[in-house]
Amino acid sequence: MRRSLSGLLYFGVWTLIGVFFATQTYIGAWYSDRPLTWTQAFIVALAAWYVRAAFAPAIFWLAQRFTISRSKWLKNVLIHAGASLVFAIVEQMIYDAVVIRFPEMPRHILSPVEFHMNLLTYWVVLGVAHFRAYYRRSRESELAASHLEAELTGAKLDLLRAQLHPHFLFNTLNGISELMHEDVEQADLMLGNLSEMLRSALEHSGKREVTLSAELEFLRRYLEVQSMRFQHRLTFQIVAPPELLSCRVPYLILQPIVENSILHGIARSPAPGSIHVNARQKNGMLQIEVCNTGPGLPSAGIKEGLGLRNTRLRLLHSYAVNYKLEAANAVEGGVRVTVEFPMSRDEAMTPVVANVPYN
């Protein structure tokens, strides 16, 4: 079907050119001393242009075979010059043989004028063929560059995420090491939770996105480990509406934010503290807030470590400028960190935990 449409389009283009030159031939003959009828003008023009249309595919093939480029331009120009002469002569002979079959056609129609038009047509078709080839190469280069950019972005995301695993593991093991001197049983429970977290990390290995449900489940285990480390000085609450649990989120995007909240909030205060994680929908965006009690932000602002810096870079690579990562002092005390990015659902990704909302 597509080839038929292309054939009709090809025939139509050459017919339109023939009609244009038929009109020109009729008008030119009208003002001369040898006028032509409309029928004669159409026979003359359409016969010439249909012959050229028949030879055009061969010219396209020659253009591909002998491309005029910097390395071989002189050789290939000479080849096309010879080919254009051969084509012009053959087309003229075929044209004369076709037109002579119409007895009412005047003899002066068989003039060598069409020979020059045959030469011109060859070089015009050759130019169109070279332009089409250049356009295709340009488009292929653009697509290749686009694919390369996407692959580089993906590689950067994988690298940033890979940096988080040893960073998170080191901090957690350091907490277990500290607890070993105070409560071996609790340290053993922490190791059990850590093994579950590592198992979850292996399950999601190679994935750049997971469901919000999976992300919050990983976060819950992490906060349980931290609550053991701080020996009941840390409580937490995670709230997410059930309808948001199938939303896609960058894997391990919340853990560095929560870790930073613990490091700069709970760990710096001798009093008990809490972490609250709330997910909501806002104007087509998925907004997640992480709030902690304790001292607020210093006047100089928060200094981003490896975790937060990588989180910002991952959001930038994934969503360009269409994201938000902000930290501000909360009215009720402590710090509120807000992360926001476009909401996208994946109903095929089943939430891993059925107990919602998280509490």
Structural domains in the chain, CATH included, are 2-145 (no CATH), 182-342 (3.30.565.10)
The average pLDDT across 68-84 equals: 85
Q: What is the mean pLDDT of residues 244-268?
A: 86
When pLDDT is cut at 50, 70 and 90, the band that residue 273 belongs to is confident
Residue with tokens 């995301």: 157
Pull the structure tokens for residue 27: 């008008």
Query: Residue 357 — very low, low, confident or very high, per pLDDT cuts 50/70/90?
Result: very low
| Confidence band for 279, pLDDT divided at 50, 70 and 90 | very high
The arithmetic mean of pLDDT across residues 25-53, rounded, is: 77
Q: What is the 3-state secondary structure (H, E, C) of the chain?
A: CHHHHHHHHHHHHHHHHHHHHHHHHHHHHHCCCCCCCHHHHHHHHHHHHHHHHHHHHHHHHHHHHCCCCCCCHHHHHHHHHHHHHHHHHHHHHHHHHHHCCCCCCCHHHCCCHHHHHHHHHHHHHHHHHHHHHHHHHHHHHHHHHHHHHHHHHHHHHHHHHHHHHHHHHHHHHHHHHHHHCCCHHHHHHHHHHHHHHHHHHHHCCCCCEEEHHHHHHHHHHHHHHHHHHCCCCEEEEEECCHHHCCEEEECCCCHHHHHHHHHHHHCCCCCCEEEEEEEEEECCEEEEEEEECCCCCCCCCCCCCHHHHHHHHHHHHHHCCCCEEEEEECCCCCEEEEEEEECCECCCCCCCCCCCCCC
pLDDT of residue 358: 44
Task: Please tell me the least confidently modeled range out of 55-59, 111-115, 316-320.
Answer: 111-115
Q: Is the pLDDT of residue 35 over 60?
A: yes
Confidence of residue 347 (pLDDT cuts 50, 70, 90): low
Q: Indicate the pLDDT class of residue 355, thresholds 50, 70 and 90.
A: very low
Highest mean pLDDT among 149-158, 280-289, 292-301: 280-289
Q: Which two tokens stand for residue 86?
A: 């051969």
Q: Which residue has the tokens 């919340």?
A: 254
Residue 63, pLDDT above cutoff 80: yes
Q: Does 153 or 228 have the greater pLDDT score?
A: 228
- Give the range among 37-46, 168-177, 181-190, 350-359 with minimum mean pLDDT: 350-359
| Predicted pLDDT of residue 31 | 67
Average pLDDT in the chain: 79
**Would the pLDDT of 263 be above 60?**
yes
Residue 208: CB atoms within 10 Å: 15
The pLDDT assigned to 176 comes to 77
According to the model, what pLDDT value does residue 338 have?
Answer: 94
Q: How confident is the model at residue 116 (pLDDT cuts 50, 70, 90)?
A: confident
* Bridging pattern class, strands 234-239 and 248-250: unpaired
What's residue 291's pLDDT? 93
Judged against a pLDDT cut of 60, whether residue 283 lies above it is answered with yes
**Does position 311 have pLDDT exceeding 90, yes or no?**
no
Q: Which pLDDT score is estimated for 149?
A: 66
**Structure token digits, residue 343:** 């909401």
| pLDDT exceeds cutoff 70 at 175 | yes
The whole-number pLDDT of residue 239 equals 94
More confident residue, 249 or 73: 249
- Top pLDDT among 209 and 317 is at 209
CB 236 within 8 Å of CB 254: no
CA dihedral of 249, 252, 257, 260, whole degrees rounded to 10: 180
Higher pLDDT, 70 or 75: 75
Distance CA 359, CA 336 (A): 19
211 strand-pairing partners:
248
pLDDT tier for residue 331 given thresholds of 50, 70 and 90: confident
Contact assessment for residue 114 and residue 48, using Cβ atoms and an 8 Å cutoff: yes
Averaged pLDDT for residues 133-155: 72
pLDDT of residue 37: 75
Say how far apart CA 248 and CA 356 lie, in whole Å.
17
Q: How many CA atoms lie within 13 A of 20 on its CB side?
A: 7
From CA 188, how far away is CA 170, in angstroms rounded?
17
Closest CA to 117 of 44, 56, 36, 49: 49
- What letter represents residue 76's amino acid? N
Q: Which two tokens stand for residue 166?
A: 């040893």
More confident residue, 55 or 314: 55
CA dihedral over 254, 260, 265, 271, signed as positive or negative = positive
